[in-house]
Chains A and B, each alone.
Chain A
């Protein structure tokens, strides 16, 4: 999952980026509204965390522009403005959620997870496919109650594919959603990561969770256990 953080406070950028990164999200960070709008229009983010009081173009203007351009990426407004009219204004401008500063990081994370789940049409916080169980909040994967050790990147890949279960996902789409602009992958990084992930899942007892769709990409499908 890839998130765009538009926030002018460098310290908040540092903390949120680190926290989201540690929680299995790829994060792009920009400091002003204009750049934020450009990034949001150009890249397929799974979520945008948007400050309201931004230099050059304020967050509400960014949000209105996005919705005008029919970019329906979920937006979480993160701002010091906490009055009811300000919240209402933000939500009416097209935001999906609103969190006021100062905030608890756990709450931000929970809201991010909820918005991502909603955008993929998933209702439960834990993704379960037969014996495979993915807990995005705890960043744990288990098969038949046995934990599978995955790297941060493998976890992101599995989580994204699981959210898009039974859909064909191209390599480019995978790159777009699990790598931030600061960690751009090499040409066969996705294939390599898929290969490693498959091996780990097979070793844990999950035989054909990720299929290769020739010429199109990959598909996460229902489990077949031995």
Chain B
């Protein structure tokens, strides 16, 4: 897996190289332009010098030129070249180095200089510069004495001067290599510095990683001891602390649930084991054996009930519980459940009042709604104070229907609300009473969600209220 550091370093290197390359190219181009300009300027100066040597003669145009004074135009390995033409393209003069060759003739406007690359007659790469210049008349002795410049004759000539550009190319190549070397040095130097800075800068991240990696899952702290020295790490630390809190809460809940499940199963198993072992040890005690059989059967039914509820919970949690909506007359539906639980209510001397608009019809899944309401009412009757009244109110508010089940309780506190839907949670630590495993409200809450509703609880001044909103 690639590290952030290697990614940053690689990206930085690539970006640096690209930027340096672009800068180098621009800088090189600028330097090249300057050097070539200077080279051209030198060629132009030579052409200009030659132009000043042009005189009008009777035969036309002549060049007062002395080869010995311009050795650069003499034949040789680094020879320069020039050629002069009249306006009509008649060659006036050419350098000795040209021999019988010609430079390309390119007439142009007066005093306008034009430079270009070319292949020199001796095969070298070179650069040429053309200049069209006015031809001066031959100066008289008087004019020479008075220092008066002669007036132009109206004749023009074209001068092309060419020079090998090996020196220029060499200078440009050296420059390009230097620029690239400096660029690479800067890029890799930058990379090294960045590596050191990142290594130093990521030390707190490593420390944070070490602390998080060293956490004992069995004994998670409430928060990390890590102090964020970098502002960028503070949100991470805060987020991790929030996550730790959630994990701890989930683990505590899981531990409680596991412990509750163990206890919930241990008790009936212990009952079964003890009942059957005693019956087997004293088979002649037929009265006890019969009683033990009855009780064992009751334990089996109870454990089956727990298993069925756990399976229903698993179905709802895994989303495999299907909801088939139908029209339900809520008044009749509630009365039927109340009648079904009448024996439980009578045993505790609890009366049940149902306040509902008898004509109210809702669309829901009857089987699932029955699970929720039966559990709520059964819970109210089981844990309600003896002789109290369980009240069921159905309220219609716009598109919502609220079903409230209220009863008086003695041992529940407002803080218990958080645990009510926790699997196997029971207020009574002894878990006395074998008919309830502490799964009823858990299942009711899960099924309410499947119905697209919600289940909320409130405990206030000895009154417990469960509200199903559909």
Contact = CB atoms under 8 A, between A and B. Distances in A.
B432 A19 contact: no
A16 interface: yes
A43 B281 CA distance: 30
Interface in A25-72: 31-32, 51, 53-55, 58
B431 A105 contact: no
Contact of B429 (A9, A53, A102): A53
Nearest to B431: A53
A14 interface: yes
Contacts of B429: 53, 58
Nearest to A54: B430
A15 B267 contact: no
A51 B429 CA distance: 12
Contacts of A12: 267, 270-271, 274
Contact of B295 (A14, A19, A54): A14
Interface residues of A, number: 27
A14 B281 contact: no
B288 interface: yes
B262 A11 contact: no
A16 B266 CA distance: 16
Contacts of B299: 11
A106 B274 CA distance: 10
B281 A22 contact: yes
B432 A15 contact: no
A102 B269 contact: yes
Contacts of A15: 271, 274-275, 277-278, 292
A80 B266 contact: yes
B430 A14 contact: no
A18 B266 contact: no
Contacts of A18: 278, 282, 285, 288, 292
Interface string A108-123: 1000000000000000
B143 interface: no
Contacts of A103: 270, 273-274
B434 interface: yes
Interface in A1-17: 8-12, 14-16
A101 interface: yes
B271 A19 contact: no
A46 B292 CA distance: 27
A12 B273 CA distance: 9
A80 B271 CA distance: 11
Contacts of A16: 274, 278
B402 interface: no
A22 B274 contact: no
A131 to B, nearest CB: 29
Contacts of A53: 263, 429-431
Nearest to B288: A18
Given A14-B295, A101-B267, A19 B262 contact: no
Given A14-B291, A102-B269, A9 B434 contact: yes
B428 interface: yes
Contacts of A11: 271, 274-275, 295, 298-299, 434
Interface string B287-300: 01001100100110
B281 A80 contact: no
B275 A8 contact: no
A71 to B, nearest CB: 22
Contacts of B277: 15, 19, 104-106
Contacts of A104: 273, 277
Contacts of B288: 14, 18
B266 A101 contact: yes
A55 B274 contact: no
Nearest to A103: B270
A19 B271 CA distance: 13
A12 B432 CA distance: 12
B290 to A, nearest CB: 12
Contacts of B434: 9-11
A205 to B, nearest CB: 29
B278 A19 contact: yes
Contacts of A22: 278, 281-282, 285
A19 B274 contact: yes
A93 to B, nearest CB: 16
A80 B269 CA distance: 10
Interface string B406-443: 00000000000000000000001111101000000000
A106 to B, nearest CB: 7
Contacts of B428: 55
Interface string B38-77: 0000000000000000000000000000000000000000
Given A15-B274, A55-B428, A106-B277, A9 B291 contact: no
Contacts of A106: 277, 281
A22 B274 CA distance: 14
A103 B266 CA distance: 10
Contact of B274 (A31, A32, A51, A105): A105
Given A15-B278, A102-B266, A103-B270, A8 B285 contact: no
Nearest to A101: B270
16 contacts: A9-B270, A10-B434, A11-B271, A11-B298, A12-B270, A12-B274, A15-B277, A18-B278, A18-B288, A18-B292, A22-B285, A53-B263, A80-B266, A101-B270, A102-B266, A105-B281
Given A12-B274, A22-B282, 19 more contacts: A9-B267, A9-B271, A11-B295, A11-B298, A14-B288, A16-B274, A18-B292, A19-B282, A22-B281, A22-B285, A51-B430, A53-B429, A55-B430, A58-B430, A80-B263, A80-B267, A101-B267, A102-B266, A105-B281
Interface of A: 8-12, 14-16, 18-19, 22, 31-32, 51, 53-55, 58, 80-81, 101-106, 108
Interface of B: 262-263, 266-267, 269-275, 277-278, 281-282, 285, 288, 291-292, 295, 298-299, 428-432, 434
Q: Which 10 A-B pairs have the closest CB atoms?
A: A101-B270, A102-B270, A15-B274, A11-B271, A19-B278, A105-B277, A80-B266, A53-B430, A8-B432, A102-B269
